[in-house]
């Protein structure tokens, strides 16, 4: 599942760390966190549209790419053959910007 943290700061939910923008989260891990007492506060964040939950299989958009700072996730999207044209260009541009910022560790 994709969790879009729409605040310009990182957020921690239990042992889950969400960077600003789009984050890939294992649904089983998410459900365990919700079952362990975080559901009420997370529901408030969702209702306030601070967190937006999207199915991982939903159509990827350029806007989503531009809000993603997880280089591993960006590279996974780049490797997916269904992401073509302007979308692939946006993914590559975002990866390049992350490289320029020294955030990729390369």
49, 67: one domain: no
What is the pTM assigned to this prediction? 0.82
What are the phi and psi torsion angles at 45 (to 5°)? Answer: -70, -35
36, 69: one domain: no
25: nearest Cα among 73, 80, 82, 71: 73
Predicted local distance difference test score (pLDDT) of residue 79: 96
39, 79: one domain: no
Predicted local distance difference test score (pLDDT) of residue 36: 93
8, 49: one domain: yes
Predicted local distance difference test score (pLDDT) of residue 87: 96
Contacts of 86 (CB under 8 A, 6+ apart): 62
Predicted local distance difference test score (pLDDT) of residue 102: 57
67, 38: one domain: no
* Average pLDDT for runs of 10 along the chain of length 106: 95 94 95 94 96 91 93 94 95 89 53
How many domains does the structure of the chain reveal? Answer: 2
Predicted local distance difference test score (pLDDT) of residue 103: 53
Domain that holds residue 94: 62-100
């Amino acid at each position: 599942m994709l969790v879009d943290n729409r605040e310009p700061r990182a957020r921690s939910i239990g042992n889950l760390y969400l960077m600003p923008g789009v984050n890939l989260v294992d649904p089983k891990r998410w459900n365990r966190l919700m079952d362990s007492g975080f559901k009420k506060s997370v529901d408030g964040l969702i209702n306030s549209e601070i967190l937006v939950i999207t199915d991982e299989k939903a159509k990827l958009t350029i806007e989503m790419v531009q809000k993603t700072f997880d280089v591993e996730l960006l590279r996974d999207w780049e490797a997916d053959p269904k992401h073509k044209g302007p979308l692939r260009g946006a993914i590559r541009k975002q990866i390049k910007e992350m490289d320029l910022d020294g955030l990729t560790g390369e």
